[in-house]
Structures are given as C-alpha cells and as structure tokens.
C-alpha cells in the first residue's frame, strides 16, 4: 500500500508546491531518442528508458504544456522507473523535444491523434508489453479524452492522470487572476516564441493539395503575436485556427476531458489538488461523471503537479511517483484492485 498524502507545514502553500519542484530537479537517467515520422510530414520524438523488446510492460509518459522529458515530474518518474527496472517512454508533443516541428500546426489539449499514432506503433512493435500511461496537466487531459474516445479499443491497460485541466475554459480564466497570472505569463512567453520562430521561417503558409483545403494557417502577424497576453487570446488567434476549430470556445468545448471520464473503461487513477493554482472547482467531476473504472483522488493541498509530502525544502520528497507506480503495477504484484475513490465535493478550490 502507498502512504497517504500529507504535506509538511512548509509546503502547504500551493505556489510552494508548484514552484519548488521546478527548482529541485533530480538527475535524469540515460535515455535514447527515437523519431516517428507521421503521414502528414511531421514527426514525433520518443525518449526511451530501458529495452522495450524485453519488457512485459511499458510506461508511456505524456508531459504537460511546453514540457518534455526534462520536466521535473517526468525526471522523477523516469528515475523511479529506472530503480524498479521498468521500461518507459516519453511521448513528446510536436515541437516539444528541443526541435521545432515541421508544420505550422503544433499540439493542443484535445489532440488524441498523435498519441494514438504512438500507441499503435508500440502495439505493433512490442506486442508482448502491456501499455501503462501517465498524463500530466495538458497531457492528462489528452489522456482522459483518448481513453473516453477509444473506450474498449484503447491500447492502454492502466492509466494515471495528474493535475489535468479537464474544463479548459474555466482554467484559462483562472490563469488570468492573482498570482496565477505569473504561470500564464511564463507559458505564453514560450508559446509566443514558437509562433515567432515559425513566422520568421515562413512555416505559416497555406498548405493545399488537390483533395485538401487550406490547413495549418493562422492569420496572424509578428506584431499581433506580441499582443497575445492570455491563453484565451492565444488559443483564439493561434491554437483554434491552426487545428481546425471555429474559435477558442469551440476548441475548449470539444477538447475538455471532463465529459469523457464517464466513458473510460480501463483502470484509471485521476489525481487533483483542491488548491491547484491552474484550476477552479469546475474541473472536479461529479460522481455521476466518473466511469466505474475511474478512481478519483481530490487532495486539499498539492498545487499543480506538486504533491510534496516530506523531506526538506532543498531535497523534497514527493507523493506522486510512489502513488503512480503502485497503481500501475498493482496487477503485476498480484494485488487485487480495491481502490476506493475519494468522493469529489463541489466546493470552490482555493484561490
């Protein structure tokens, strides 16, 4: 069994929980990179830990917005997988592996096409291995949507979803308030730079063929990019048009993972913190919105992908990795799945 999550007195503040992990990254195990070419001319980069040819299971990791295998939470999970002798692979969203992707389009919170491609590749080349998936933040929303869309056809055997913005519109508005604007500014700055790079390289052009209408086109100039200050503005002027949505509201409505939870029929653990500075109470599912295979944990503290539960400020200890790996390996250990959900309550999250 795993220990309960109890943050120390010095880590009960949500911003300490969110920021301190970034400042105390652990060493990254040695990884090997593989590139998957896509049918649309773009690519996905995978970072491998271990040998999948001899693995009975593979932990597939989906990082958050502008994350990578270098993200603090991915580093820690890979370190613990290495300690346990588990094979793992990081699926990089387009343009997040350190090299700009080739097309104007990038990735978004509801893009399940790319992870479907990666999972199909893994199934084909390593049929002996069960696929266990972990999605953080944006990657968690993508994972929830994938599981709900595919249901019985999902390639995933077990899954864990951490700090997922399951109601995108509410989360975008939350990041326009208080100290949360600092997180928004940091992420928007990175997203804008990627758009600027593509504009300078003239990647944003009409791409047409005899059987295809114009795609991957954002009607935006360098001057306009500099004026994008919020996620709502960025998603309306860049994300939505690049990925075939009518606008930001259409994008948020169709891409939010909340409505897919009831359709999930794979053992799935969903973890939220009530004080997450990226969220509002709108992300908390009602019991009726959870599939019978979904275990839900709502913790009073934890911040955004934080969940520090001990150690010291210079060397914190974390709840997430031991909880994630216990859930994913339960069947491997011969443990009956007797997880009980922490019943969600529709109470406002801390601001």
Residue 69 per-residue DSSP state? T
CA separation for the pair 38, 7 (Å, rounded)? 43
* 137: annotated active-site residue: yes
Is 161 within 8 Å of 268 (Cβ atoms)? Answer: yes
Q: Which token pair is 300?
A: 């009073």
And the tokens for 111?
Answer: 């893009």
Q: How far apart are alpha carbons 226 and 238 in whole angstroms? A: 12
SS (HEC) of 168-226: HHHHHHHCCCCCHHHHHHHHHHHHHHHHHHHHHCCCCCCEEECCEEEECCCCCCHHHHC
Strand 316-318 to 308-311 pairing:
antiparallel
- Beta strands, E only, 8-102: 32-37, 43-49, 57-62, 87-91
- Residue of 137, 154, 180, 256 marked catalytic: 137
Interior/surface letters 326-339, b for 16+ CB within 10 angstroms, e for the rest: bbbbbbeeeeeeee
45, 275, 276, 309: the active-site residue: 276
Is 15 annotated as catalytic? no
How far apart, in Å, are the Cα atoms of 84 and each of 59, 81, 158, 325?
12, 5, 18, 10
Q: Is residue 304 among the annotated active site residues?
A: yes
Phi, psi of 181, rounded to the nearest 5 degrees: -65, -25
Give the integer Cα–Cα distance in Å for 54 and 103.
Answer: 35
Q: Which of 71, 106, 304, 309 is catalytic?
A: 304
What's phi and psi for 134, nearest 5 deg?
Answer: -130, 125
Lookup: tokens for 289: 């919105």
Looking at the annotation, which residues are catalytic? Answer: 137, 276, 304
């Amino acid at each position: 069994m795993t220990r309960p999550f109890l943050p120390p007195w010095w880590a009960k503040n949500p911003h300490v929980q969110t920021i301190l992990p970034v400042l105390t990254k652990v060493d990254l195990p040695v990884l090997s990179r593989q590139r998957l070419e896509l049918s649309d001319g773009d690519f996905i980069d995978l970072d491998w830990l271990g040998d999948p040819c001899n693995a009975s299971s593979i932990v597939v990791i989906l990082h958050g917005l502008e994350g990578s295998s270098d993200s603090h939470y991915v580093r820690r999970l890979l370190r613990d997988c290495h300690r346990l002798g588990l094979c793992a692979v990081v699926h990089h969203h387009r343009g997040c592996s350190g090299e700009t992707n080739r097309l104007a389009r990038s990735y978004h919170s509801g893009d399940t096409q790319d992870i479907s491609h990666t999972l199909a590749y893994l199934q084909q080349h390593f049929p002996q291995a069960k696929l266990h998936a972990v999605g953080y933040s944006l990657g968690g929303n993508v994972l929830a949507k994938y599981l709900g869309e595919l249901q019985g056809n999902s390639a995933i055997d077990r899954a864990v979803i951490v700090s997922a913005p399951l109601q995108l519109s509410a989360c975008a508005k939350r990041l326009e308030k208080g100290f949360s604007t600092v997180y928004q500014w940091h992420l928007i700055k990175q997203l804008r730079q990627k758009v600027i790079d593509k504009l300078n390289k003239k990647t944003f052009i009409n791409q047409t063929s005899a059987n295809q209408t114009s795609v991957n086109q954002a009607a935006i100039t360098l001057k306009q990019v500099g004026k994008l200050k919020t996620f709502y503005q960025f998603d309306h002027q860049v994300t939505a048009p690049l990925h075939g949505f009518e606008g930001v509201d259409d994008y948020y409505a169709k891409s939010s993972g909340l409505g897919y939870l009831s359709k999930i029929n794979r053992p799935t653990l969903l973890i939220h913190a009530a004080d997450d500075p990226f969220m509002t109470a709108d992300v908390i599912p009602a019991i009726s919105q959870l599939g019978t295979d979904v275990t839900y944990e709502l913790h009073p503290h934890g911040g955004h992908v934080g969940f520090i539960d001990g150690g010291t400020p210079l060397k914190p200890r974390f709840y997430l990795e031991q909880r994630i790996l216990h859930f994913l390996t339960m069947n491997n250990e011969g443990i009956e799945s007797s997880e009980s959900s922490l019943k969600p309550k529709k109470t406002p999250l801390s601001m």
